[in-house]
Amino acid sequence: MRTQAAVLYAAGTDWKVQDIELDPPRAGEVLVRVAAAGLCHSDEHHRSGDVPFAGPMVGGHEGAGFVEQTGPGRSSTARRGTAPWRTRT
Ligand SMILES: [Zn+2]
């Protein structure tokens, strides 16, 4: 599915809000419809170059939303409600 994300390609560049392709949830994962998210100071460390990363990366590892779909092995009992998350880096 297509969605939007804040993407950072390299240290010293600006975040770029753009369309990205999102895979369906894999085993143990959930698909979350994001209600709110933000870029925090941890994200800024990557942009400034203080914390190296292998780009491109999607920022906004803190947020809340609603679980829309579950991958294999995930319980369907938590399909609705807020879901704080962290992204993998
Ligand atoms: Zn943070």
Domains and CATH numbers, the chain: 2-78 (3.90.180.10)
62 alpha carbon to ligand 1 midpoint, in Å?
Answer: 6
Give dist(CA 19, CA 50) in Å, integer.
27
39 alpha carbon to ligand 1 midpoint, in Å?
Answer: 7
Q: List beta partners, residue 13.
A: none
40 alpha carbon to ligand 1 midpoint, in Å?
Answer: 5
Give dist(CA 89, CA 86) in Å, integer.
9
Alpha helices in the chain (DSSP H): 41-48
16 alpha carbon to ligand 1 midpoint, in Å?
Answer: 18
- pTM (predicted TM-score): 0.76
pLDDT tens-digit series, residues 4-37: 999 999 999 999 999 999 999 989 888 888 888 8
**pLDDT score recorded for residue 89:** 44
Average pLDDT, the chain: 85
**pLDDT score recorded for residue 82:** 55
Statement: residue 76 has pLDDT above 90 = no
Statement: residue 62 has pLDDT above 70 = yes
**Ion ligand 1 neighbours, Cβ < 5 Å:** 40, 42, 62
73 alpha carbon to ligand 1 midpoint, in Å?
Answer: 28
pLDDT tens-digit series, residues 31-58: 888 888 889 999 999 999 999 999 899 9
